[in-house]
């Protein structure tokens, strides 16, 4: 499980900087945009760090770090949704 979480963390972060490894939106040939990639990277990186913090750090540290990471993941989710709306909207 830790290897798959670490792989997801690295892949989503690299997809921000290297557009060639980004996927396409389901059901279309439209590539995932930069805003969506940043949002997904924040979301998955925050979630992965919650897992790592919960497993490897003491409870006193977890109590104040996890709410910050939940906030980062929430911001990433909102960015990913807004980016997907921007990417899939018809271009003028």
- 13-16 contact pairs (CB < 8 A, 24+): 13/41, 13/45, 15/40, 15/41, 16/41
Query: What average pLDDT does range 36-60 have in this prediction?
Result: 88
Query: What average pLDDT does range 28-43 have in this prediction?
Result: 88
Number of domains in the chain: 1
Query: What average pLDDT does range 5-17 have in this prediction?
Result: 86
Task: Provide the token pair at 79.
Answer: 């960015």
Mean pLDDT, the chain, whole residue set = 87
Hey, how many other C-beta atoms are within 10 angstroms of the C-beta on 71?
11
| Close Cβ partners of 56 (under 8 Å, ≥ 6 residues apart) | none
Structural domain containing residue 8: 2-88
User: Is pLDDT at 39 greater than 90 in this prediction?
Assistant: yes
Q: Quick one: which of 61, 45, 36 has its CA closest to 11?
A: 45
């Amino acid at each position: 499980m830790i290897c798959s979480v670490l792989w997801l963390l690295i892949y989503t972060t690299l997809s921000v900087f290297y557009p060639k490894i980004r996927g396409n939106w389901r059901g279309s040939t439209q590539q995932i945009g930069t805003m969506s990639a940043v949002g997904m990277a924040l979301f998955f990186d925050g979630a992965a760090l919650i897992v790592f913090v919960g497993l490897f750090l003491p409870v006193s540290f977890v109590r104040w770090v996890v709410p910050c990471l939940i906030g980062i993941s929430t911001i990433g989710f909102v960015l990913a949704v807004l980016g997907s709306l921007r990417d899939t909207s018809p271009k003028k």
